Structure 1
Amino acid sequence: MLVVHGAWLPGAGLVVWAEDSALPPQAPRRPGRAPRERPHPFAADHAALAAALASAGPQTGTPSARPASAPSQSTGPHAPAAAEPGSVLLRLPTRAGSPADSPELVRPAVAEPVRGPVTLAGWRAFALRYAPADALALLRAAGDRAGVPGATLRHLAELAGFAVDLVRRGRVLPGVAGAPEPRPTAFRPLDGASAAPRAAGPGRAGEVGARAVWRPLLTGADAAWARSLALALPPAGRAAAADVPAGELVADALDALTDAAARAALTRTVLTQGGRRSGAVPAWLAALTAPDGGFTAERVALDALAAELDDWQRDAAGGAVRASFRLVEPAVDPIADALAAALDPTAATDTDATAATATADATDDSGGPGGGAETGSAAAGRWRVEFGLQAADEPGLVVEAGHVWRSPHAPSGLAGRLDSPQETLLAELGRASRLWPELDTALRTATPEALELDVEGAHRFLREGAPVLHAAGFGVLLPGWWRRPSARLGARLQARSRTAPGTVAAADGGFGLDALVDYRWEVSLGDEPISAEELAALAELKTPLVRLRGRWVELDPGRLAAGLRLLRSAGELTVADLLRLGLAEADSADALPVLEVVADGALGDLLAGQAERRLVPLDPPPAFAGTLRPYQRRGLAWLAFLQSLGLGGVLADDMGLGKTVQLLALFAGDPADAGPTLLVCPMSLVGNWQREAARFAPKLRVHVHHGAERARGDDFVAAVHAADLVLTTYSVAARDAVDLAGIDWHRVVVDEAQAIKNASTRQAEAVRALPARHRIAVTGTPVENRLADLWSIMQFANPGLLGPAASFKKAYAEPIERHGDAEAAERLRRMTGPFVLRRLKTDSSIISDLPEKLEMEVLCNLTAEQAALYRAVVDDMMARIESTDGIERRGLVLAAMTRLKQVCNHPAQLLRDGSALPDRSGKLARLEEILDEVLAAGEKALLFTQYAEFGGMLRGHLSARFGREVLFLHGGVGKADRDAMVTRFQSDAGPPLFVLSLKAGGTGLTLTAANHVVHVDRWWNPAVEDQATDRAFRIGQRRRVQVRKFVCAGTVEEKVAAMIAEKRSLAASVVGTGEQWVTELSTERLRELFALEAGAVVE
């Protein structure tokens, strides 16, 4: 495998390099002192790197003859990216003369542990360099590449996405920068010259070179997000620029990527200034859309332009006070409104108006006396946009412009925030007029207080002016009705199936996606239906805003026409069309949004996300040799129901609830001529599926397609046709994609579906390409890190349901993850809910007979030897941390964390001297006490450690201590041995103790013979620890499971353990965990965290 890394070099752009797991990890030993830089022993060469950057489509990252300093003209998400080959000097953690593997690198075999201290050393790796425009294209498609993206590349991809988002929302401002100056970087082109941007050529006499640039406008949430991205920079992100602070490095990358994104969005635009053709401003405007942004101008004119633009940027960033704009509705005659209500009982008045909530995008329900004129009347009165000053940190504090003009002193509410309120208001209004030129009319007066508008102008302000002003950081207050669904027309679809309505058992047959249903449309305003006559009358008004039934309504001609067409249509449509209408978004701006789809029977239940609860539980077929619990029978009915509709599903029951048996019951009920089912899973689960199939569905003919001797060609086709269930692994599915895609599968199932969460990987693409009539994804965590994971899994289960990845990211991922958009989250839940079944085993209504899981934290004391080593490590590492900074400091902090955790486990783990284990570790002594009780009771235990080396020590010591065989599973154990270990442990006569490394044994295994779980050391990731615990706490467990988590009192372990509960609460929100946050702590705070507290030692 190749793990691809990225490094940003200020002034040079993006440099990409990769680790190759197939290359030897050790650098050749050379006599004498280590040189300043050495060739990286397992860095991929240019050809392998280019292949790793290749996407599934025709675009590649192949090195180009075109210099990277000359950006390409195509910078879309999948544009070809031109690269300049060369090498990059990296300062990387090094042990025993070789660079350490990155966390993402997985080697094919477990190597002997490398001993020795960790230092930072220089390593030169093959690399490709990309100019910002090409870097943007590559980073936007980072997930679509063949290589595995490392943390640095993922971080840069997030930066690129942020830059594109800023441009999309208009959060950029033009600026001017000096001509780039050559500067040395860590990148060395193949010709040996230092990579640096080229300076602009000289212009005419008296002119100097400069660059027109687009800069990000960072205020509010955007500024906070930019700070978060700087703090989140992985330490390896500075490996090629260790002398550049993290904040400066991220700012430079964001500036360059934002400039590239803005130019990509303006490729067909040429900015001009009136009729002027010469001078600094016209040249600057033209350069804003030019590929390189270079231009020349006279020094005096250039300085004046730069000063004005800098003032604009500074003003846009905002201060303590900002201008506010409040839209006030025209006054309405209450008598006419009351008369309209009397003549038309349905003409309800908008009486729920409340006071304005003065936030940046607040709504204001207090404008105007309220009430409404006759139903459907056009707005004849004048609208007003009232000006004011608003405290930026207290949006509820607004002072009207009239009050500002009447007094030259700061109003009492704004005292201390500004000195010259009148000058501030004028400056703010002038800045706003650049964004919304219609304000110029009001600014012709000396003391502007408001802008008078007709109804068309008010609508333009609502639709165009308000969003622009809000995005620029101004306060905007709009009427409350503007954000309500009742202010816009929508459609409701009434559908009725031609079969008998009601609850269905979803047993056999069904009606299929191409079955017909009767339907009719209803157009409504909020909850109130609108007749065709009313719609026609509204269309005749030719105005964008009207009073209808006592409320303001926006009238869009396109949507009015669409509503009329819908009301005139009725008839029949297919079930597939019904589902798309009910779950998808409107496909054009003129289309009426579908507010609701009302269907009868099973279709209605599916659209409402209630299918599993309403379906009649389905008894397992006679060929199933087992018993299903009630919730499992409902799950079986849900799976069969979706299958009858030709739809896929995501079975996401909590770990231990028996997803395997529900699927085997489904498989066992297939008719003889249904065709084969392909099940793709990790290698560690193939044996488990074989055993469970033989136990619960013994009549199923199972074929395992795995291993070097697996069938191929005609033999493979014959083997598949002779089987009911074909088991294979994700790696084989990628390698044998052509053979597997040549089979007409009845069903394709992916177990541990998080393996395809990265949609661009070869295995994800191969699995999605498999033809099947029914698809099922099985996972305990449908969303792990990003909503893109959910998209990838749903794209497998129901292709196209969530739309293309790019539109999904724009409509859902970015608004939800970056801005916490609750409406987008609700829309996403509505679209995915019918196809995801998730039940939790802690819910007593789901399963009442699962034994209680008792979790406890076990505090262990250090021995005197441990305490002395602990203090020595703290003193040594803190002295080194205090004398370093940057990436070297981060590396030392992480190394200190690792060493302290090793001391807490056992001195021999830190010293690596092969010394004896007894009587030297408080954890080991407590473990022996617990295991004495476990073995005396005739019970079994699982012992988890994150260190494979320490696991080996435990196996030897515990075997000698108790005179029993102790099993040990780590990443170097092959499939056959792993399956044999699991079988032996699960048997009554099998070994009672099982030591497992957390990474190798924390997922995918059923080890219910154990009812004790001990986490000897902590991973500090609640989700990972929970998955490991669930090896025992799952279906088939008949006893209470006791989970013990060891923590050394008074040490860094106890202090960080407090973080675990917080991280556990964040797991549902998919917040990453780990130890990187520690590297950002101050030296004083680190000393407090590492310090050994009183009471930690036991003699």
Structure 2
Amino acid sequence: MLVVHAAWTDGRLCLWAEDTAPGDAPPARRTRPAPHPYAAPAALLRAALGEHAAKAEEAERVVLLPGSAKGPLPSPESGLTSAARAPKITPYLVPVLLLGAPGALALLSGLDDRDGADTPEWGPGGSLRYLAAVAETARDLVRRGRVLPQLVTEHGEHAARWVPVVTGPDAAAFRELAAAMPPVCRAVGEETGSARVLREALSGLADAAVRRALPDRLLAGPRPGPRSALPDRWLAALTGEDPALPGAKPADAERLGTALRDWLAAAHELDGPARVCFRLTEPPPEEEQAGEGEPSWRVEFALQSTEDPSLYVPAADIWAGEHVPGLPRRPDEALLAGLGRAVRLCPELYGALRTARPSAMDVDTAWAFQFLRHSAPLLQAAGYGVQLPAWAGRKALGLKLTTRTRKTGPGAVAGQGFGLGQLVDFRVDLAIGEHTISEEELEELARLKIPLVRVRGQWVELDDRQLKAALEVVSRRRSGEMTVGEVINEVVEGGDELLPLLDVDADGPLGDLLSGEADRRLTPVPTPATFQGTLRPYQERGLSWLSFLSSLGLGGILADDMGLGKTAQTLSLLLDERNGQASGEVAPTLLVCPMSLVSNWQKEAARFAPGLRVYVHHGGQRKREDELGEAVASADLVITTYGTALRDLEALRGFAWGRVVCDEAQAIKNSAARQAQAVRALRARTRLALTGTPVENHLAELWAIMEFCNPGLLGPAKRFRERYQEPIEARRDEDAARALKRATGPFVLRRLKTDKTIISDLPEKLEMKVWCTLTPEQASLYQAVVNDMMSKIDGSEGIERHGNVLATMTRLKQVCNHPAHLLKDGSRLAGRSGKLARLEELAEEIVEEGDKALVFTQYAEFGAMLQPYLSAHLDRPVLWLHGGLPKKRRDELVERFQNDDEPMLFLLSLKAAGTGLNLTAANHVIHVDRWWNPAVEDQATDRAFRIGQTRNVQVRKFICVGTLEERIDEMIERKKALAESVVGTGEDWITALSTEQLRELFRLGPEAVS
């Protein structure tokens, strides 16, 4: 597989690929710089990228990467490891593809649209994903009009370009984006600052986005020739592919350029401590009740802090001379200057400036409508504050769809199964807010042609286009009949763009499905008689929901929290449908899961559903051809892995499965990955996804999983991205979020185990921090590492600095664990570590009380040191599970710990055992060293805190006081709400801190030593 990396250099996107399965390295060439031994040829990269790379230029570039004497270090995305202890930044010669801004924008915008057919398998590295986020930022700036045309100089020639205007909140977002830039993005040739690279990339991509949005000329008429006036040529060059203006006279270019630069500078004038704010207020109710004359609207002026928007000072207070901290020293001058600039965008404000001390202006309804529709968006885009009534911006008119299930006659429910083809009676009504209005009322509103009206006590915005569309919908299809499938499609699509579907009132099974709480409203399905156990009430509701979706031929996502029994609910569904089919065969279910869970499914099926015939299709001895057909025909449940499903796709797609189930369905969150394509290609009547994390990083993952469950239901990926993903992720669009929840809600069942209304008898999880001190030896080593590494960090830049910071953190964490962990000298363990002493005390207490404990460490080498030591110290066996064990041995260790009285201590590598294991025999969890990712730690803790646990689970997290462990723990606590996004990517976020911040982070406090 290829991992594709990217950088931005010299106005172009530079791409190269790392081959994660390169075989033997090519013979070294004695050149400086040396060729990258595992870089894929440019031709192979071009084949992988397909049409996106059709116009790319092949070249070679020098890339600065961390490496050692043996060669470059593998990237984190490759999944490969390296034994290099002190990597250094080294230049390597790499075959690359170069794409100009238009091609780069197309590639970065279409990362999730790859079909992968007959092309080398590849995945984007972090740098390519980052630049895709930059491209999305550029498109968002263009959508909001945050660009201005400029005359620039490129390679000695003049050119017409669009430049992004990054002010106010966009400036803060720019700084955050620059700080998050992976070093690889600026590692081509000479290393460059992240802010400069981001500015160049954002400018190039924004210019390309404008040209894609405006392919035609801005003005009609004859195209200006080379002798035409420069402004005419410049205006024509702002669209199309060629921005060049050859032969421009220096004097003409200076005049035009100066005017355009002044325009750009004016756009940045609002980047101060305060901005002018406009507040539109509607007429008071008593004025409307009086009915005298036209209602009076009011626009109030104020100053608002750009740092703290809640600091809002009306103009009347400013003229009264009140001083407010946080505003400019002369707020009156700032207010007048801001209002003067605002007149350029909203000339109607000029009347207010005729007074010496403007504070507000009274306007009529027509003026208020023009302000709402035209002036307010322009002022907001320019950086002014605008406060509008709560109803402003909402689409006033909507539809209410009422459906009723037929009781008698053709298509009635009685005596039939209820499916997508079921006919229901429907009626469409027009709605304004919560009120339904008649067609006659709507026609009267259209006749009056008043843009702002008060309907039943509520102000609404109307325009001719909305009114015509509303009348057309009602006159075209007011009532009649449609199928259940058509109703669901109406919900997902949301109706006409002008008339979003506000409400669906349905009865019967369809109403249960669309209610948003289908698991509670559906007819209960009891625990099957052949199920060996008892389903909890919420699990029976889950079974009812799964059974109902299956009866409709629809797929779903069972997204219950980890440990709530998704396996048991799925097995009970299989038993229920077989118990209900006394006569006739039920097609087998194919379950696809990670390899680590195959044994778990086998054991759970044998435990809960011994009557199910299970066949495991995995391993070198798996059946093929006719034998496979016989095995499938005689099975109720076929279990396979994602890798096997991909390899045996042709064989597996030849069967007509009753259902395909994807466990840990986040494995198919990348819709372009080959294993995701493979499971989507399998034929099945219904599909089911099991995952506790339906969205890990972005909404495209939800689309990918839903596309597996109900192909085509959410439309093409491009439409989903435009309609839901971009508005929600880029603009936090609440309307889009509500629409997406309404569209996906019927097909996603999500319950949390912390919700006591779901499960009230799960024991408590008691989390506590265990503070440890360092021994004098540890403190001495800690200070020595800080002194040695801070000088290296201070004298390095870019990728080299990044590597030095990570190396420092690793060494300091090893010191906090034990001196022997850092020194790797095989020396004795006893009496040299505060953490180890505390672990010994806890282990003794746990054993004496007859309890069991899980002890997690992120370092396999430290676990290998602890296991024999703890076993000898306790005089009891201590189990040790790590990634180097074969699956059979892992299963034996889990079985022994769960079922035997001893051992009572289970030492585990966090990477190898953080997910997929059921270890409820333990009621203590100890994190010896922290991963600094709350989500990862919680997943590990959930090996014990899950269904089947009968005792309170005590979770202890070891922290050395006065060290970086304590200070990073404080950072996590301060950013608890953002911990997953800020810290969840690993430790890279720390490398962006300044040298002084790092010095404070690594500082050894006096309280650290015992």
Instruction: Compute the TM-score of the two structures, normalised by the length of structure 2.
Output: 0.89
Q: Does 1:576 align with 2:485?
A: yes
Aligned partner of residue 776 in structure 1, secondary structure: strand
Aligned equivalent of 2:239:
289
User: Does residue 50 of the first structure (1) align with residue 50 of the second (2)?
Assistant: no
2:126–2:182 contact (8 Å) kept in structure 1 = yes
The one-letter code of the counterpart of 1:472 is A
> Aligned residue for 1:867?
779
Q: What does residue 171 of structure 2 align with?
A: 223
Is 1:160 the equivalent of 2:135?
yes
SS at match of 2:715: coil
The separation in 2 between residues aligned to 1:597 and 1:831, in whole angstroms, is: 12
Partner of 1:664: 571
Give, in whole Å, the separation in 1 of the partners of 2:788 and 2:427. 77
| 8 Å Cα contact 1:17-1:49 kept in structure 2 | yes
Match of 2:118? none
What is the aligned partner in structure 1 of residue 405 from structure 2?
A: 497
What letter matches 1:416 in structure 2?
R
Query: What is aligned with 1:319?
Result: 270
Which whole-Å CA distance do the structure 2 matches of 1:94 and 1:38 have between them? Answer: 12
Q: Which amino acid aligns with 1:818?
A: A
Q: Partners of 1:1064 and 1:813 in 2: how far apart? A: 25
Gaps of 5+ in 1: 65-81, 181-198, 200-208, 325-357, 501-505
Aligned to 1:355: none
- Equivalence map 1:262-341=2 (5 Å): 262-271=210-219, 278-296=228-246, 297-319=248-270
Residue 371 of structure 1 aligns to a residue whose secondary structure is helix
Measured in 1, the distance between the counterparts of 2:414 and 2:934 equals 40
Q: Structure 2: give runs of 5+ residues left out of the alignment.
A: 115-120, 579-583
Distance 1:612 1:215, change over 3 A: same
What is the correspondence of 1:874-913 to structure 2 with a 5 Å cutoff? Answer: 874-913=786-825
Letter in structure 2 aligned against 1:681: C
Give the secondary structure class of the aligned counterpart of 1:881.
helix
What is the Cα-based RMSD across aligned positions, in Å? 3.8
Give CA-to-partner distance per residue, 1:788-825, whole Å, 9 cap, x none. Answer: 22222222223334333333333333333333333333
1:287–1:24 CA distance, 2 compared to 1 (3 A)? same
Please tell me whether the aligned partners of residues 1023 and 1064 of structure 1 are also in contact (alpha carbons under 8 angstroms): no
Percent identity among equivalent residues?
A: 52
Q: Distance in 2 between matches of 1:240 and 1:294?
A: 26
> How far apart are 1:462 and its partner, in Å?
3.5
Q: Which residue of 2 aligns with 1:345?
A: none
Deviation at 1:252, TM superposition (A): 1.0
Matched to 2:230, the amino acid is: A
* Structure 2 counterpart of 1:147, from 98, 103, 122: 122
Kindly indicate whether the alpha-carbon contact (under 8 Å) linking 1:276 and 1:282 is maintained by their aligned counterparts in 2: yes
For residues 506-905 of structure 1, the aligned pairs below 5 Å read 510-542=417-449, 544-546=451-453, 548-549=455-456, 552-564=459-471, 565-566=473-474, 569-589=478-498, 592-671=499-578, 673-905=585-817
Alignment deviations for residues 426-462 of structure 1 (CA, whole Å, 9 cap, x no partner): 45423x27xxxx8699899999999999987865554
Which stretch has the larger CA shift, 697-706 or 115-124? Answer: 115-124
Deviation at 1:295, TM superposition (A): 0.7
Tell me the alpha carbon deviations over residues 945-994 of structure 1, each in whole angstroms, 9 at most, x when there is no partner. Answer: 11222222223433444455544333333333333333333331664443
CA contact (8 A) 1:859 1:1048 kept: yes
- Residue pair 1:96, 1:114 contacting (<8 A) in 2 also: no
Which amino acid in structure 1 is aligned with residue 143 of structure 2?
R
Q: 2:972 touches 2:979 (CA, 8 Å); kept in 1?
A: no
Equivalents in 1 of 2:771, 2:299: separation in Å? Answer: 64
Distance 2:7 2:940 in 1: 35
Cα gap change, 1:972/1:129 in structure 2, threshold over 3 Å: closer, same or farther? Answer: farther
- The 5-angstrom pairing of residues 1015-1034 of structure 1 reads 1015-1034=927-946
Residue identity opposite 2:726 in structure 1: E
The Cα shift of 1:555 comes to: 3.6
Deviations 1:529-583 (A, max 9, x none): 2222222333333554455556654444454345445277222222222223334
CA contact (8 A) 1:173 1:216 kept: yes
1:928-943 correspondence to structure 2 within 5 Å: 928-943=840-855
For residue 158 of structure 1, what is the amino acid of its counterpart?
A
Q: Equivalent residue for 2:2?
A: 2
Q: d(CA) in 1 for partners of 2:908 and 2:416?
A: 47
More moved, 1044-1053 vs 813-822: 813-822
| 1:944 alignment partner, SS class | strand
> Aligned AA for 1:930?
L
| Alpha-carbon distance in 1 for matches of 2:864, 2:198 | 42
Deviations 1:141-171 (A, max 9, x none): 2234542222211111100111111112221
Residues 763 and 950, structure 2, Cα contact 8 Å, conserved in 1: yes
1:481–1:883 CA distance, 2 compared to 1 (3 A): closer
Match of 2:95 in 1: 126
Amino acid across the alignment from 1:652: A
Flag the 1:446–1:292 CA change in 2: closer, same or farther, 3 A.
Answer: farther
* 1:1081 aligned residue: 993
Please tell me the residue identity of whatever aligns with 1:45.
P
| Structure 2: distance between partners of 1:1071 and 1:365 | 45
Distance in structure 2 (CA, Å) of the matches to 1:509 and 1:921? 72
* DSSP 3-state at the match of 2:216: coil
* 1:510 to partner: Cα distance: 4.7
Structure 1 residue 290: Cα displacement: 3.0
Residue identity opposite 1:42 in structure 2: Y
User: 1:104: which partner in 2?
Assistant: 77
Q: Cα–Cα, structure 1 residues 554 and 925, in superposed 2: closer, same or farther, change >3 Å?
A: closer
Q: Note if contact 1:320-1:418 (Cα within 8 Å) is conserved in structure 2.
A: no
Deviation (angstroms), 1:392: 6.3
Counterpart contact for 1:320–1:392, Cα < 8 Å: no
Contact map agreement 1:25 1:41 (CA 8 A) in 2: no
**Counterpart residue number, 1:252:** 200
Distance in 2 separating the partners of 1:984 and 1:738: 39
Q: What CA deviation, in whole Å up to 9, does each residue of 1:29-72 have, x standing for no partner? A: 99xxx985322232223244334434xxxx353xx5xxxxxxxx
The C-alpha deviation readout for 1:96-117, integer Å capped at 9, x for no partner, is 533222222224xxx7x62532
Determine helix, strand or coil for the equivalent of 1:775.
strand
Shift of residue 266 of structure 1?
1.5
Cα 1:457–1:736 shift into 2, 3 Å: farther
Q: Identify the match of residue 955 of structure 2 among 1035, 1043, 1048.
A: 1043
1:756 partner amino acid: I
Listed as ranges, the matches of 1:425-436 within 5 Å are 425-430=339-344, 432=345
Q: 1:253 to 1:929 in 2, by over 3 A?
A: same
How far residue 475 of structure 1 moved from its aligned partner, in angstroms, is 4.4
Residue 984 of structure 1 is aligned with which of 896, 916, 919? 896
Is the contact between residue 321 and residue 390 of structure 1 (CA under 8 Å) also seen in structure 2? Answer: no
Instruction: Encode CA deviations 1:670-708: one digit per residue, 9 max, x unaligned.
Output: 236220111111110011101111111112121222223
Conservation of the 8 A alpha-carbon contact between 1:650 and 1:779: yes
**Contact kept in structure 2, 1:785 and 1:1071, CA below 8 Å:** no
Distance 1:442 1:268, change over 3 A: farther
| Cα distance per residue 1:1016-1067 (max 9 Å; x no partner) | 2110001001101111221222333222221122211111122333455336
Q: Give 1:253 shift.
A: 0.8
What amino acid does structure 2 have at the position aligned with 1:841? K
Q: 1:481 to 1:636 in 2, by over 3 A?
A: closer
Residue identity in the other structure for 2:436:
P
| Residue 272 to residue 965, structure 1, CA distance change in 2 (3 Å) | farther
State the partner residue of 1:342.
none
Q: Match of 1:167, SS?
A: helix
Cα separation, partners in 2 of 1:447 and 1:1047, compared to 1, 3 Å: closer
Conserved 8 A contact 1:143-1:149: no
Contact 1:650 1:776 in 2 (8 A): yes
The reply on whether 1:1059 has 2:971 as its aligned counterpart is yes
Letter in 2 for 1:173: L
Q: What amino acid is aligned across from residue 490 of structure 2 in structure 1?
A: L
**Aligned mates of 1:293, 1:992 — CA distance in 2:** 72
- Residue of structure 2 in register with 1:371 after alignment: 288
Q: Does the C-alpha gap of structure 1 residues 535 and 693 become closer, same or farther in structure 2, counting only changes over 3 Å?
A: same
Give the TM-score taking structure 1 as reference length.
0.82
Classify 1:1001/1:35 alpha carbon distance in 2 versus 1 (closer, same or farther; 3 Å): farther
Matched, 1:90 2:63: yes
